[in-house]
């Protein structure tokens, strides 16, 4: 049996007006009310995505979950260019490579929690997520001598449950606003272009220091020099978001 939708012209017009009005209302809500771009819904805690600012502030962030050959060259480039960044590391990796974690701390970079097993939190039960965060927290604390307060869920996957659990554990979830796509190994020039062409004030940039990111270390000097020429200054994530006002958009 075939079914046909019969649309009344007047109803279509009314529907379009409602949709357009809702769209512009959403834009207004998103562009007003502060500087800090976040994901939130009602009373659900926040996940920071970007800081909206007139100043050209920006943060480089590096995820590390495995490998030992790429992190040190990246650290060397950051040190040479006098740039501080935020490193999100897995607890299991921290246990295997304490000497690299110690170097990250020594160089003055910020350390965040990337979970312990590097598994998708949205597919895990609440208690599993909680235990994974705690296990990673303790591992990082033992090696780094600091207690991480920022959490980037593995692969950047999170939902309202993850936000709520993280908040109860005194963690702020950090996402990103600009993906360098260095994990694809598209070539050093492409990585630089992905960052330089898409950068906006307040961006949190996703990069990787795991061994799978084979071209990132070579791209770092050009990323830094290009952004500096455009007037950008570099901050850790905590520095970037400090004293920022909150802006919100709904997360499903």
Q: Give residue limits of the domains in the chain.
A: 47-249
SS3 track for 23-92: HHHHHHHHHCCCCEEEEEECCEEEEEEEECCCCCEEEEEEEECCCCCCHHHHHHHHHHCCCCCEEEECHH
Identify the residue with better confidence: 167 or 39.
167
Catalytic residues: 63, 208
Q: How confident is the model at residue 12 (pLDDT cuts 50, 70, 90)?
A: very low
User: Whole-angstrom Cα distance, residue 71 to residue 64?
Assistant: 8
Say what the pTM is.
0.83
User: Whole-angstrom Cα distance, residue 191 to residue 223?
Assistant: 8
Query: What pLDDT, in 10s, does the model give residues 58-116?
Result: 999 999 999 999 999 999 999 999 999 999 999 999 999 999 999 999 999 999 999 99
User: Whole-angstrom Cα distance, residue 245 to residue 149?
Assistant: 19
Average pLDDT over residues 227-251: 80
| Dihedral sign of CA atoms 200, 192, 101, 96 in order | positive
Count of beta carbons in the 10 Å neighbourhood of residue 76: 14
pLDDT higher than 60, residue 162: yes
Q: Check if the beta carbon of residue 64 is closer than 8 Å to that of residue 75.
A: no
- The phi and psi torsions of 208 (rounded to 5 degrees) equal -135, 145
Average pLDDT over residues 132-156: 97
Distance of CA 3 to the CA centre of its chain: 46
CATH class in words for 47-249: alpha beta
Percent of the chain with pLDDT over 90: 75
Determine the pLDDT at residue 40. Answer: 59
């Amino acid at each position: 049996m075939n079914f046909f939708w019969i649309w009344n012209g007047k109803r279509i017009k009314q529907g379009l007006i409602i949709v357009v009005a809702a769209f512009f209302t959403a834009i207004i809500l998103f562009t007003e009310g502060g500087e800090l771009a976040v994901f939130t819904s009602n009373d659900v805690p926040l996940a920071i995505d970007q800081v909206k600012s007139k100043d050209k502030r920006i943060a480089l962030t590096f995820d590390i979950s495995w490998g030992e050959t790429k992190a040190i060259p990246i650290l060397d480039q950051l040190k040479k260019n006098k740039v501080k960044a935020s490193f999100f590391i897995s607890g299991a990796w921290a246990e295997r490579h304490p000497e690299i974690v110690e170097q990250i701390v020594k160089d003055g970079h910020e350390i965040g929690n990337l979970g312990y097993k590097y598994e998708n939190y949205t597919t895990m039960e609440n208690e599993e997520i909680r235990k994974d965060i705690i296990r990673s927290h303790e591992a990082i604390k033992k090696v780094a001598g600091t207690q991480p307060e920022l959490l980037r869920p593995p692969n950047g996957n999170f939902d309202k449950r993850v936000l709520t659990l993280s908040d109860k554990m005194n963690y702020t979830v950090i996402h990103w606003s600009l993906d360098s796509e260095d994990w694809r190994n598209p070539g050093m020039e492409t990585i630089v272009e992905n960052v330089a062409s898409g950068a906006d004030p307040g961006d949190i940039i996703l990069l990787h220091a795991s061994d799978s990111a084979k071209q990132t270390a070579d791209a770092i000097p050009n990323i830094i020099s290009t952004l500096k020429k455009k007037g950008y200054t570099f901050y850790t994530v905590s520095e970037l978001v400090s004293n920022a006002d909150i802006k919100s958009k709904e997360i499903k």
